[in-house]
Homo-oligomer: A and B are copies of this chain.
């Protein structure tokens, strides 16, 4: 048990570099993209024999395209399920211009609906899909790729995205992935990957054997897969950064991380919100009977990392400024609701989240008035 706990701690620590939130249109201030050490990038491991798997990518935005292309490159049979633009894929192929080496798939397998279950369903949908009509859109998109033996990896934002999927298809099937990547899409099958690319992944039930399975999938690919012994700790660990920094960047009408770090009130607010997120995460871990805890060292590390970052525009901030919808529910509201459900009083976090949601509502109203 002691040993497992140590592994937990190490893995949780590892997960903390996976800060950035990801979306179909990732949005990144490239001036800041070298802030984290490039040693985080995996080298290409191609020795040994890799067992070929069938993989269906569901949600073929920038993130889906990138990880799908890397898996194809490593020898897996990857099918991209797309809602629109299939003709472009078939005509022009998939292009990923990547800082870790370009990939071109001249004839990618593209479907509008998976014809059969795969070994892996890799889901990179926007989190709205889990909310609309009780999640029906997401469920209907995922279901065709899932059979009795299928594993489902959700590379999505926030806290709680696994729960509905676990309910639909069985908890033993479900994995969570936290992408630490800067990429965006120029066209339906045209992706630019500018920096990073590591993927933290954990199993919904924290089953160590299953953790080995997800590690095996990415073995031999150029993706640095960092297994997370405790998925809940990994998710909260990413929120530790996302809630204060994505939150404040939006609540302040669209400011960069350097503004937050140098304004005395915003800096203090970020710190206090981070402490609230930490306490909430630990409450959640305790309630779930997990051994992992988020230590104060993580909070200090986050502040230090952000101090050393070049000015960075959070993805939510870019979405906000452009008037695009924000993934507020799973990045903010779920965490707040969970903390309160467990008797927590994360008042700084709550204040910030209320201001963020209100700012989003104001923006949406302005948009609908203008259009």
Q: A residues engaging B (CB < 8 A)?
A: 251-253, 255, 259, 263, 265-266, 268-269, 272, 347-348, 350-355, 357-359, 361-362
B-chain residues with CB within 8 Å of residue A269 when the two chains form the complex: 351, 354-355, 358
State whether A361 touches B263 (Cβ < 8 A): yes
Docked pose: A232 CA to B186 CA in angstroms: 61
Can you list 30 A-B pairs with a CB-CB distance of less than 8 A? A251-B251, A251-B355, A252-B355, A252-B358, A252-B362, A253-B253, A253-B359, A255-B362, A259-B362, A263-B358, A263-B361, A263-B362, A265-B353, A265-B354, A265-B357, A265-B358, A265-B361, A266-B354, A266-B358, A268-B354, A269-B351, A269-B354, A269-B355, A269-B358, A272-B347, A272-B351, A347-B347, A347-B348, A348-B351, A351-B352
Task: Find chain B residues with CB under 8 A from A272 CB.
Answer: 347, 351
Give the residues in chain B near A252, CB-CB below 8 Å: 355, 358-359, 362
Complex Cα spacing A265 to B252, Å? 16
A323 → chain B closest CB, angstroms: 15
In the bound complex, CA of A355 to CA of B350 (Å): 13
Number of copies of chain A assembled together: 2
Q: What are the residues of chain B within 8 A of A251 when measuring CB–CB?
A: 251, 355
CB distance from A278 to the nearest CB of B (A): 15
Q: Distance in Å from the Cβ of A354 to the closest Cβ of chain B?
A: 4
Which residue, of A352, A358, A362, has the highest number of chain B Cβ atoms within 10 A?
A358
Assembly CA distance A359 to B255 (angstroms): 11
A265 partner residues in chain B, CB cutoff 8 A: 353-355, 357-358, 361
**Cβ–Cβ < 8 Å partners of A361 in chain B:** 263, 265
Contacts A265-B355, A266-B355 known; 20 new A-B pairs at CB < 8 A? A251-B251, A251-B355, A252-B359, A252-B362, A253-B253, A253-B362, A255-B362, A259-B362, A263-B362, A265-B353, A265-B354, A265-B361, A266-B354, A268-B354, A269-B351, A269-B355, A269-B358, A272-B347, A351-B352, A355-B355
Considering only CB atoms, which chain B residue lies closest to A345 in the complex? B347
Residues of B within 8 Å of A354, CB to CB, are: 265-266, 268-269
- A253 CB contacts on chain B under 8 angstroms: 253, 359, 362
Residue numbers in B under 8 Å from A362 (CB-CB)? 252-253, 255, 259, 263
Q: How far is the CB of A94 from chain B (nearest CB, A)?
A: 41
Q: How far is the CB of A281 from chain B (nearest CB, A)?
A: 18
Which B residues are CB-close (under 8 A) to A348?
A: 347, 350-351
Q: How far is the CA of A169 from the CA of B350 in the complex (A)?
A: 44
For residue A359, which residue of chain B has the nearest CB?
B252
A259 to B355, CA, bound (A): 13
Q: Is the CB of B358 within 8 A of A351?
A: no
